[in-house]
Structure 1
Amino acid sequence: MLRDLCPALANKTYFNYGGQGPLPTPSLEAITCSWKRIQELGPFTNDVWPYVAKEIQATRSQLAKLCGVTPHRIALTENVTTGCVLPLWGLPFSEGDRLLISDCEHPGVVAACIELTRRQHLAIDTLPVKNLRHGANDQATSDSLVLERLEQHLKPSTRLVVLSHLLWNTGQLMPISAVAKALSHHPQQPFLLVDAAQSFAQVPVQEAAVASDIYAFTGHKWACGPEGLGGVALSERVLVEANPTLIGWRSLQNEGHLQNNQAELFHHDSRRFEVATSCVPLMAGLRCSLELLETAGSQQERLSQIRQGSQKLWNQLQQLTGVETLLNSAPAAGLVSFELPQGPPAPDVVQQLGNDQLWIRHLEDPICLRACVHITTEEQELNTLTTALKQLACKGEPSN
């Protein structure tokens, strides 16, 4: 079992996969083996470059397969933020264009958009999805409301829409393909940027990745890979219309002979958004983690297992006095967000649980607590968390 291969799960009850997943021992060994091989070949020799090229090609191909796109549409990045921001800043904006950003986006992406609008004299509108609290049992209603609100908040000058595939705070699943279709009928045909931090390696992503213009993900969360390596799937029109932003030797077609013609200076595929030297051994680790996940079942089979656990936890929380779940029915994936209105402050809850090696996290917007259920999560862990929360919730209740 994958769980048995993760040392981090042996001495704690862990529900923070949405922050960072545990690294399996075989993945760590693959990283170490790759590092040793590079040193054997020489870190900067003619002998090492074929090995490095093979590692990059294998990783790009595996990520492309998972996203349902061709390899030339995958750029290798360090994390979700760089995967979002580097192509974002290269899009062809004009002064007065507007960005429509959901109210559930990660601060790193929102801050980049704010600075972009300041520099290029753009404007930001908000797509309200935070108060949509429909779980898996009413996904169709949620999808319909998202599209309705999208239509209401799109403006003639909207040039970009930013919307996560799976909202990192409420756990609501967004209808990315339907959003992309709606945008295709808009006069401006706005670009669609999707933060896939919580969806990649948890829910099937091919349909959404193919439909998006920028679909950025990381390997260190639900994929249980090493931190420092992710990717972004880019649409063909981004590859044609967007300019490189942060530029380095990996962006160039020929680093030894620079052309005055900009059209010939940079790669014409996703590599124009790659920058410079990255940690090659991490690639072996991520591929190993992804292969371990595949041995545990197909994407849909793993999601079904995750849902069983998250729905069980959601049901248990529903039975607790003093605990309120954010979603009004069981989650569509593994994020279970909830509040203790009369209990201790959320940061204190996290610390008190952590004192017993039970790890969840608190979020600021909306203020809540979040537990993440993975295929490695055991039923007894769900019971342990529920029991601990019951005790904390009771602390806030007035005595008779």
Structure 2
Amino acid sequence: MPADFRAQLPALANKTYFNYGGQGPLPSSSLEAITAAWCTIQELGPFTGEVWPFVEQTSSQLRQHLAGWFGVPAHRLAFSENVTSGCVLPLWGLPWQAGDELLISDCEHPGVVAACRELAHRQGLVLTTLPVADLLGTADDTNKQVLQRLDRQLSPATRLVVLSHLLWNTGQVMPIAAVAGQLSSHPKQPWLLVDGAQSLGAIPIEAAAAAADIYGCTGHKWCCGPEGLGAVALSERVVREARPTLIGWRSLSHEASGQSEFHTDSRRFEVATSCIPLCAGLEQSLHLLEAEGTAEERLALIQQRSGYLWQGLQANPRARTLLEVPPPAGLVSFEISGEDPEMVVKRLGEQGIWLRSLDDPHCLRACTHITTTEAEIDQLLGALQAF
């Protein structure tokens, strides 16, 4: 039951929390797993022959586990510190030519957009826009519109499409597998980069991650894992065609006085020393989520809660939800007429209710997870009604 998972989240004991899309609370047992891994490393090592089998087992176990969530073989998965580094490191290693076009949706996170702009500046590339921010209706209509607009925006020079799976601002889900299929018939077969920051742990991702060329995720949001650890799934052609950009000893197949070759799989985009105990923490968080049901069953719970919040906002004459239909996942973005979003966040925080504001569009965003209760949603709705 979700109540069992919720009981392991001390962050929820003294607040009403709607910021899972920013950072999920860490379960007590995940923190204990991190601490236990630290202790084991210190007892065995930290740099001895006895510690390396533990280090390898801990990281390999998580790689295999995440590969199952991503729906890809483990050799296509690389660890990263966060979504941005997971997306950008292989992106910058692709074989670009001056004049290539990057088609970027108008709902991408500023971190990825900034990286694309700098890449374009350095390589002489052209940036174009795929409009999706106004797609606020049903899934069927959204999917149809995305594919139609993609067809219109693609040009002979298009070399990359950047499109998030679950849009971080509007909360809409994009048809990633269908987009990948459409790109496969393009003469240049553009690469598809997907920001999965809001999707891992929130919605099933197997079909999308397997179809994309670069699918970056983090473990600290909807998976309720520790910050500082993420993963990226890479297509076989990206592994084959992209060169490492930020290079360290983990990029290499072995250490041999600079004579070693890069890994032939996705590990070539890993860099150097990282925090192994975080792997133990994320591993435990994944197990806890799996104990609550399949990805589809967890999504149904998330949708039930976000739908309850969405319906409640319709009853507030001063509230306007961005989506015209109940959300397909757990992101609920909305406006309160006449109220500055930042001031609303501040005033709600003073009541122990936490959500966030967004800059573009300038609005509020509340996130519901499987741990969110109707009583908490009623508390938020009542506080908003009081405005």
Give the C-alpha shift of residue 265 in structure 1.
1.7
Distance in 1 of aligned mates of 2:92 and 2:255: 23
Q: For residue 133 of structure 1, report the CA deviation from its aligned partner.
A: 0.6
Q: For residue 103 of structure 1, what is the amino acid of its counterpart?
A: D
The equivalent position to 2:87 in structure 1, one of 84, 92, 114, is 84
The answer on 1:46 being equivalent to 2:49 is: yes
* Aligned residue number for residue 374 of structure 2: 379
Deviations 1:232-291 (A, max 9, x none): 0000000100100000000011222433xxxx6211100100000000000000000000
Match of residue 121 from structure 2: 118
In the alignment, which of 252, 257, 276 is matched to residue 280 of structure 1? 276
Q: Separation in 2 of the partners of 1:295 and 1:254?
A: 38
CA distance in 2, matches of 1:246, 1:306: 37
**Which residues of structure 2 form unaligned runs of 5+?**
none
Aligned partner of 2:320 among 324, 327, 341: 324
Residue in structure 2 matched with residue 398 of structure 1 by the alignment: none
2:307 paired residue number: 311
Q: Is 2:259 the partner of 1:270?
A: no
d(CA) in 2 for partners of 1:279 and 1:321?
A: 49
* Displacement of 1:341: 2.3
Question: What's the counterpart of residue 181 of structure 2?
Answer: 181
SS in 2 for 1:321: coil
Deviation per CA, 1:282-318: give whole Å up to 9, x if none: 0000000000000011110000000000001000000
Within-5 A mapping of 1:41-80: 41-80=44-83
Matched, 1:14 2:17: yes
SS in 1 for 2:49: coil
Please state whether the residue corresponding to 1:2 is helix, strand or coil. helix
Give the equivalent residue in structure 2 for 1:364: 359
- Shift of residue 349, structure 1, vs aligned partner: 0.4
Which residue number corresponds to residue 29 of structure 2? Answer: 26
Quote the Cα distance in structure 2 between the aligned partners of 1:92 and 1:365: 32
Q: Distance in 2 between matches of 1:83 and 1:321?
A: 42
How far apart, CA to CA, are the structure 1 residues paired with 2:336 and 2:131?
24
Counterpart Cα distance in 1 of 2:337 and 2:144: 30
User: What's the secondary structure of 2:7's corresponding residue?
Assistant: helix
Detail structure 1 runs of 4+ shifted over 3 Å in the superposition.
none
Partner of 2:348: 353
User: Following the alignment from structure 1 to structure 2, what is the Cα–Cα distance between the partners of residues 167 and 203?
Assistant: 12
| 1:147-296 correspondence runs (5 A) | 147-259=147-259, 265-296=261-292
The letter of the residue matching 1:31 is: I
Distance in 1 (CA, whole Å) between partners of 2:384 and 2:173 is 25
Alpha-carbon distance between aligned partners in 2 of 1:346 and 1:202, rounded to the nearest angstrom: 25
| Equivalent residue, structure 1, for 2:329 | 333
Counterpart of 2:107 in structure 1 is 104
Report the Cα offset of residue 28 of structure 1.
Answer: 0.2
Cα drift, residue 176 of structure 1? 0.1
Identity across the alignment (%)? 61
- In structure 2, the residue corresponding to 1:194 is in which secondary structure? strand
CA distance in 2, matches of 1:239, 1:104: 27
Cα distance in 1 for partners of 2:91, 2:386 equals: 46
SS at match of 1:22: coil
CA distance in 2, matches of 1:257, 1:145: 54
Q: TM-score, normalised by structure 2?
A: 0.98
3-state secondary structure, aligned to 1:99: strand
Report the residue type matching 2:131 in the other structure: P
Letter in 2 for 1:295: A
CA distance in 2, matches of 1:242, 1:204: 27
Amino acid in structure 2 at the alignment position of 1:301: E
Q: Which residue of 2 aligns with 1:396?
A: none
Any idea what the Cα deviations from partners look like across 1:182-236, whole Å, max 9, x if unmatched? 0001011000000000011110000000000000000000000000001000000
**Which amino acid letter does the alignment assign opposite residue 287 of structure 1?**
E
Measured in 2, the distance between the counterparts of 1:286 and 1:212 equals 23
How many residues are treated as equivalent by the alignment?
384
Runs of at least 5 residues in structure 1 that lack an aligned partner in the other structure: 393-400
Deviation at 1:92, TM superposition (A): 1.2
C-alpha separation in 2, matches of 1:114 and 1:341: 34
